[in-house]
């Protein structure tokens, strides 16, 4: 997978956090979207025009990125759900957890291409 796909996504999640309008997205809502396998579609539904996920959802630029991303998020969920505060210092905002877990995917790295 291209590292660029994850770093672009981090920028989009960070933008939503900065707007402050989505502070109400809970960790539990993020868990559900991850478990449903629809995290990117969930973000698009919640944030509308405040987030641009077209490169992931409307093109094949990054192939089947959402499935690949969800698989890694589900792995993190299975390993760390309920332990976010100890591991990443996250206890309140779902978007902060998603940002931390996306960063964790990068840190775990494997097979990156540029």
pLDDT digits (tens, 9 = 90+) for 72-95: 999 999 999 889 889 999 999 999
Query: What gap in Å lies between CA 38 and CA 65, rounded to an integer?
Result: 11
pLDDT digits (tens, 9 = 90+) for 24-34: 999 999 999 99
Write down the CATH number for the domain with range 3-108.
1.20.120.600
Please give the average per-residue pLDDT across 100-104, as a whole number. 96
Is 0.85 topped by the overall pTM?
yes
Give the per-residue pLDDT at 114: 54
Look over the chain and give the mean of its residue pLDDT values, rounded to a whole number. Answer: 91
């Amino acid at each position: 997978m291209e590292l660029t796909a994850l770093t672009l996504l981090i920028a989009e999640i960070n933008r939503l956090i900065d707007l402050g309008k989505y502070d109400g997205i809970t960790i539990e809502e993020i868990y559900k979207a991850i478990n449903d396998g629809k995290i990117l579609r969930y973000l698009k539904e919640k944030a509308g025009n405040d987030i641009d996920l077209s490169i992931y959802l409307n093109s094949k630029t990054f192939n089947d990125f959402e499935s690949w991303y969800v698989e890694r998020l589900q792995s993190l969920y299975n390993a760390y759900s309920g332990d976010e505060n100890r591991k990443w210092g996250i206890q309140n905002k779902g978007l902060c957890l998603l940002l931390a877990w996306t960063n964790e995917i990068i840190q775990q790295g494997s097979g990156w291409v540029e």
